[in-house]
Amino acid sequence: MQYFDEIVFDDVANDAVVYLPDPPKKWANISDCGKFPCTAPQNVVMQFSKVTCTGTKQPAFCSINKDFTIVSKRRGDSKAYDQCVLNKKWNGYLCTTADALKIGQLIFESLDGDTWDRSV
């Protein structure tokens, strides 16, 4: 979870705010994550507060709310983010409603000996 406070977006086009890539298929290997790709890029939550926008190009959220959350797009999550708006250029959702701003992350820490090689 990343927190950004009092950020200024100066001449930033809406499509250039962020890009959250999907995990590469080659990450699906036995030594790293087993037979499925590591999903870290799909678990991004960025929470912004007190944002200011300046310049001639401004992201769409500047006219909506100064506090918002951006989350990565995951298959099957659209219902979970029903108060958020998908931005295909970002590969993520913009969440501006009060309930949507409560999105967080649950992280488990592995205490196994190989925690640096494999973790949940």
**What's the pTM value of the predicted model, to 2 decimals?**
0.77
Tokens for 50, please give them.
């007190």
DSSP annotation of 56: S
Q: How far is CA 5 from CA 12, 47, 50, 116, 117, in A?
A: 17, 8, 6, 31, 33
pLDDT digits (tens, 9 = 90+) for 68-118: 999 888 766 656 677 888 899 999 999 888 877 788 777 777 777 776 666
CA angle 78, 80, 82 (to 5 degrees): 65
Q: Which amino acid is at 98?
A: A
